[in-house]
Amino acid sequence: MSSRDYDDFKDVFNTLGVQHNVFYGTIEELSEQLINRRGNIRESVRNVVSSNKAPARKAEKELRPSVLFIDEVDVFFEK
């Protein structure tokens, strides 16, 4: 979705108090965010390889629930 879509719904997000938790982006950006939700995975792997120490990561219970909305899902599934 675009910034235009975000602007269209900004008042709803503000009313619900979720404006700081709304993320509009590409599937690639979403994947990157999910991979790193418990900490920077690249940095964690680098630390394990270089020092053989397990990195500190956020516990799953610290993560807030999330919802995924896909706009134009027909375009997403096109060949």
Q: What is the CA radius of gyration of the chain?
A: 17
pLDDT tens digit string along 56-67?
666 666 667 788
**Statement: the pTM of the whole predicted model exceeds 0.85:** no
Domain range list for the chain: 3-76
- DSSP code for 39: S
pLDDT digits (tens, 9 = 90+) for 29-77: 888 988 888 888 888 888 888 887 766 666 666 667 788 777 777 777 8
Place of tokens 């619900």: 16
